[in-house]
A and B are shown apart, each in its own frame.
Chain A
Amino acid sequence: MTVARTSQAPTPPAQQRQQEAHQQLSQCARATSAYESRFRIDRPIVPARAARVVALDERAVAVARRVAGRQWAHARFYACEGGDPLDPVLRRLDGVPAPLRQVLTGTDVVVVLATEDSGEAYAAAIGRTCWERGITTAGLVLGIDYEAQDAVAALRPYARVLLPSADESDVLELLTALRV
């Protein structure tokens, strides 16, 4: 019997069997194996969301301040000061005024925080403006449900997502999950 000579070291039989078995797997079985998972592209994900968080009332602003104290890539936080319900005045949390239309420039997601109904008209205005500009809106009502029923109703036509019984940790979880 002749034995083929090669310049390479022979593959150990166990390893060879393992390789052959791997090659015989279906595409899907092979693709989900631990072996193949090592070849998934592993590059850091750049935060892509430019989020704006708008607090509609005093208690919501307090929550926004605490959340803003964390480290965020592109999230910016604002308090709704009131003014014309059709064109509400926002302020950055450091007090600098910021017109709504300017705040929304370049953003792709707005998170509205409310704890009561006082911001109902502004919720509708923000929701509508976002809608017109193709900006995804999420509404979080903080605290006991129904304190902000009207604000929820005002946001409902526009907000892609409403959490009617949220708490502060929901704000953190949502912003973290969205990589803002």
Chain B
Amino acid sequence: MLRKDINELLTQTGPGTAMGEMFRQYWMPAMLAEELPEDDCPPVRVKLLSERMVAFRDSEGRYGLVDEFCAHRGASLWFGRNEGSGLRCPYHGWKYDVTGQCVEVPSEADNSSFCQNVKLTSYPLVRIGDVLWTYMGDPAKTPPLPEYEFAQVPAEQTYTSKRWQQCNWLQAFEGGIDSSHVTFLHSGGLKSDPLFKGAKGNEYNMKDTKPFFEVADTEGGLFVGARRNAEDGTYYWRITPWVMPNFTMVPPRGDHPVHGHFWVPIDDENCWAYSFDYHPVRALTATERQAMVDGHGVHSKNIPGTYRPAANMDNDYLIDREAQKRGETYSGVAGIAMQDASLQESMGPVVDRTKERLVPADSGIIKARQKLRKAALALRDEGVTPPGVDPEHHRVRSAAIVLPQAESFLDACRDAVTVQPGVRQTTV
């Protein structure tokens, strides 16, 4: 359980909140690059950390993320005309560049300097990999750009999707470090999902449904090791890294691409789940890429033209009780992503953690909450930069490995859980 005030501290990310200020220390995924596919394309509404903005790509290919509303009369710039290196409000023609600087106010005299004094709040928007990243904190403290491996490998080795999840970011994130639900909720997927099936590790997963956990502190977050019995004298370990505040990876299976997530707050009752798959040493095959586009693995099948999953709360997640009876799915909901989302959304927009009954197996979640709280308060009270800002912290990998029983996963896997460009992932 968590006290009400701590639950509020961890789940509120708007401007001026402790956790909101902490999130504003990091580069965060703001949108997929595919959302702004070409110069002068239509602008896109973006809401992050309870701030409404509009993103656009100008005539020179520069990305901008600015306050959604025109400084003149407050009309939404989503209706703006993206033309001539700026975004023009169609109401009275005020025009802004990618920094939010007003560059034209047609009603003013030709030589007027009025527009120089008008600037919308804006944030940088930078493309790394398939993602456009933003930093919403103090410009004077802008950290180095992120260096997550999924966004650093060549384009043919990586794929990222996103989906809208209708609950607080913390609920979604906590699923990302909760290894013990896999054996139950995702058991159908281990047998049939094209991006999961066939790995030797799946057999260990299914044979031993009661994993043991070791939770190890790192400079940037945690490693959560889940171990199950393997052959005589050995354990099968699945190691999940968490980089603060909201990056998690899933331990790999066989030679399948490695996957993971960013859980980005939209507001306090909604978040984006960015889901990626990449392979450190080879291109994704056409079959793998198609499976991701089709919503397999950690991805979702979305309503065309949107990032809303086709199975969502408005259609009861297309629950299929017959498929559940047949053993095709454990919960009746199809797809790994929506199996998680359906249960996390069912808790309500912000779950009341004062009502929980946690068990020792939830220690990863307990420790993560503690680290988030401590970091948010240290930033608020003493100005301490939180873990996970330093790109060195981003260079982590998940791993799956069989080890002799006496070995500590941390000792045995130091190299395996560190990014080594050109080196294959450690997997079973």
- Whether B366 lies near A173 (C-beta < 8 A) is yes
User: Which one of A53-61, A89-97, A114-122, A150-158 contacts B?
Assistant: A150-158
Binary flags per residue of B207-218, CB closer than 8 Å to A gives 1, else 0:
000001111110
Which residue of chain B lies nearest to A149 when distances are taken between CB atoms in the complex?
B408
Residues in A whose Cβ lies below 8 Å from that of B2:
177
Whether a CB of chain A sits under 8 angstroms from the CB of B1 is: yes
B42 to chain A, nearest CB (A): 29
- Whether A160 lies near B316 (C-beta < 8 A) is no
The answer for the CA separation of A176 and B336 in the assembled complex, in Å, is 32
Whether a CB of chain A sits under 8 angstroms from the CB of B315 is: yes
- Whether B315 lies near A177 (C-beta < 8 A) is no
Binary flags per residue of A134-147, CB closer than 8 Å to B gives 1, else 0:
00111000000100
- Whether B360 lies near A160 (C-beta < 8 A) is yes
Whether a CB of chain B sits under 8 angstroms from the CB of A9 is: no
* With A28-B345, A160-B212, A163-B215: A153-B406 Cβ-Cβ less than 8 Å: yes
The answer for the CA separation of A29 and B316 in the assembled complex, in Å, is 8
Which residue of chain B lies nearest to A32 when distances are taken between CB atoms in the complex?
B348
- Whether B346 lies near A28 (C-beta < 8 A) is yes
Question: Mostly helix, strand, loop or mixed at chain A's interface?
Answer: mixed
Q: Interface size of B by Cβ–Cβ distance < 8 Å?
A: 38
- Whether A174 lies near B366 (C-beta < 8 A) is yes
- Partner of B360 from A138, A149, A152 at Cβ < 8 Å: A138
- Partner of B213 from A109, A157, A162 at Cβ < 8 Å: A162
Whether a CB of chain A sits under 8 angstroms from the CB of B405 is: yes
Whether a CB of chain A sits under 8 angstroms from the CB of B300 is: no
User: Which one of A12-20, A66-74, A164-172 contacts B?
Assistant: A164-172
The answer for the CA separation of A173 and B367 in the assembled complex, in Å, is 8
B333 to chain A, nearest CB (A): 10
Whether a CB of chain B sits under 8 angstroms from the CB of A3 is: no
Whether a CB of chain A sits under 8 angstroms from the CB of B314 is: yes
User: Which one of B17-25, B245-253, B291-299, B351-359 contacts A?
Assistant: B351-359
Binary flags per residue of B333-349, CB closer than 8 Å to A gives 1, else 0:
00000000010011011
- Whether A177 lies near B366 (C-beta < 8 A) is yes
The answer for the CA separation of A178 and B360 in the assembled complex, in Å, is 7
The answer for the CA separation of A84 and B357 in the assembled complex, in Å, is 36
Which residue of chain A lies nearest to B373 when distances are taken between CB atoms in the complex?
A173
Which residue of chain A lies nearest to B365 when distances are taken between CB atoms in the complex?
A177
B372 to chain A, nearest CB (A): 12
* With A160-B361, A177-B1, A177-B362: A26-B315 Cβ-Cβ less than 8 Å: yes
- Whether A162 lies near B214 (C-beta < 8 A) is yes
The answer for the CA separation of A48 and B1 in the assembled complex, in Å, is 13
A window 34-50: CB within 8 A of B:
34, 37, 40, 45, 48
Which residue of chain B lies nearest to A163 when distances are taken between CB atoms in the complex?
B215
* With A170-B370, A173-B366, A177-B2: A32-B215 Cβ-Cβ less than 8 Å: no
- Whether B345 lies near A32 (C-beta < 8 A) is yes
B window 162-197: CB within 8 A of A:
166
Whether a CB of chain A sits under 8 angstroms from the CB of B155 is: no
- Whether B1 lies near A163 (C-beta < 8 A) is no
Residues in A whose Cβ lies below 8 Å from that of B410:
145, 164
Residues in B whose Cβ lies below 8 Å from that of A29:
313-314
Which residue of chain A lies nearest to B364 when distances are taken between CB atoms in the complex?
A161
- Whether B316 lies near A28 (C-beta < 8 A) is yes
The answer for the CA separation of A28 and B343 in the assembled complex, in Å, is 10
- Whether B363 lies near A138 (C-beta < 8 A) is yes
- Whether A156 lies near B363 (C-beta < 8 A) is no
Name the residue in B216, B342, B369 with the highest tally of chain A Cβ atoms < 10 Å from its Cβ: B216
Whether a CB of chain B sits under 8 angstroms from the CB of A62 is: no
A54 to chain B, nearest CB (A): 14
Residues in A whose Cβ lies below 8 Å from that of B315:
26
- Whether A169 lies near B370 (C-beta < 8 A) is yes
The answer for the CA separation of A163 and B365 in the assembled complex, in Å, is 12
A160 to chain B, nearest CB (A): 5
A28 to chain B, nearest CB (A): 4
Residues in A whose Cβ lies below 8 Å from that of B345:
28, 32
A-B residue pairs, 7 tightest by C-beta: A28-B313, A161-B360, A162-B214, A138-B360, A161-B363, A177-B358, A165-B217
- Chain B residues in contact with chain A, CB under 8 A? 1-2, 166, 212-217, 313-317, 342, 345-346, 348-349, 352, 355-363, 366-367, 369-370, 374, 405-406, 408, 410
Extra A-B contacts (19), CB below 8 Å, given A153-B406, A160-B361? A25-B314, A26-B314, A26-B316, A32-B166, A34-B349, A153-B408, A156-B405, A160-B212, A162-B214, A162-B215, A169-B374, A173-B369, A173-B370, A174-B363, A174-B366, A177-B1, A177-B356, A179-B1, A179-B358
